[in-house]
Amino acid sequence: MTPHISSKKEEIAKDVIMPGDPKRAEYIAKNYLEDYKLVNEVRGMLAFTGKYKGKKVTVMASGMGMPSMGIYSYELFKEYDVKNIIRIGTCGAYTKDLALKDTILVNGAYSESSYAKTQNGCEDKLLLASSPLNFYIKEAAEDLNKHLSIANIHSSDVFYKENDNFKELYRNEGCMAVEMESFALFHNANVLGKRAACLLTVTDNLVTGERLSSEDRQQGVNEMIEIALESILHYD
């Protein structure tokens, strides 16, 4: 038990898939896992542990933003001995080169956030995903015949900006898309010697203003869920 998670230690698997939305955690458990059980509902941040093709896995929501992702991923890594966290989320594209429904495998997360500096003095602005985990995710996508766009992305603290500087972030920092959690996840993995990765479905495009319909959104998200779940079968 931790301040934010009521599960017993053995109720959380070493591999955790983390969507932002608790309803999506429930959706994954109901549609993809066998013998699953609800193991946390503190603050509605649902976690389910079950089996995917025989392998124990936990699906737990992170909530939105780096403070929330920071809390849950830290407690999972540190108090529950979780080894691998794969975030699955949605993002807004900063370029026309990404199409709606594309799946991004995050190489690195750039952020102006103070999360890493406040956490342990780290002044890095670009934090990388675990390369072994990304390797297994690429293998899984290949097996499933799914295309991945490998990209650096922006982890933003602010969803609603009065003056969006996304063109500068694209041009100067090479950020291809925006979400709000990966930088904190990657930092915690680095600090605690664990592995973290992130898959994102492109649900909107900031250049063209296009958005996915809810049906296409679900289909895009399903593909990402399948890649994430298959990837955990690629290692012990």
Question: Could you say whether residue 156 binds ligand HPA (CB under 6 A)?
Answer: yes
Question: Could you say whether residue 157 binds ligand HPA (CB under 6 A)?
Answer: no
Question: Could you say whether residue 210 binds ligand HPA (CB under 6 A)?
Answer: no
Do the beta carbons of residue 56 and residue 168 sit within 8 Å? no
21 given a catalytic annotation: no
User: Which one from 35, 204, 216, 236 is the annotated catalytic residue?
Assistant: 204
**Strand stretches in 42-102, DSSP E:** 47-52, 55-60, 84-93
Query: Which residues are CB-neighbours of 172 under 8 A, at least 6 positions away?
Result: none
Q: Residues 90-109 vs ligand HPA: string with x where CB under 6 A?
A: xxx-----------------
Q: Residues 74-93 vs ligand HPA: string with x where CB under 6 A?
A: ----------------xxx-
> Hey, which residues does 151 pair with through a beta bridge?
106
Please say which residue, 107 or 156, places its beta carbon nearer to ligand HPA. Answer: 156
Please say which residue, 120 or 219, places its beta carbon nearer to ligand HPA. Answer: 219
Please say which residue, 134 or 203, places its beta carbon nearer to ligand HPA. Answer: 203
Query: Which residues are CB-neighbours of 227 under 8 A, at least 6 positions away?
Result: 103, 137, 140, 141, 144, 146, 148, 199
Question: Could you say whether residue 159 binds ligand HPA (CB under 6 A)?
Answer: yes
Q: How far is CA 173 from CA 100, 112, 162, in A?
A: 22, 11, 20
- CB 91, min distance to ligand HPA, A: 5
The DSSP string of 45-59 is: --EEEEEETTEEEEE
**Which single residue brings its beta carbon nearest to ligand HPA?**
92
Mode of pairing for the β-strands spanning 15-19 and 55-60: parallel
| 32 three-state secondary structure | helix
Question: Could you say whether residue 182 binds ligand HPA (CB under 6 A)?
Answer: no
Please say which residue, 50 or 65, places its beta carbon nearer to ligand HPA. Answer: 65
Question: Could you say whether residue 21 binds ligand HPA (CB under 6 A)?
Answer: no
CA-nearest of 204, 205, 94 to 153 is 94
Give the one residue of 49, 103, 188, 203 binding ligand HPA; rule: CB under 6 A. Answer: 203
Please say which residue, 36 or 94, places its beta carbon nearer to ligand HPA. Answer: 94
Do the beta carbons of residue 112 and residue 224 sit within 8 Å? no
Segment contacting ligand HPA by CB under 6 A, of 1-9, 103-111, 127-135, 175-183:
175-183
Positions annotated as catalytic residues are 204
Give the interface with ligand HPA as residue ranges (CB under 6 A).
90-92, 156, 159, 178-180, 203-204
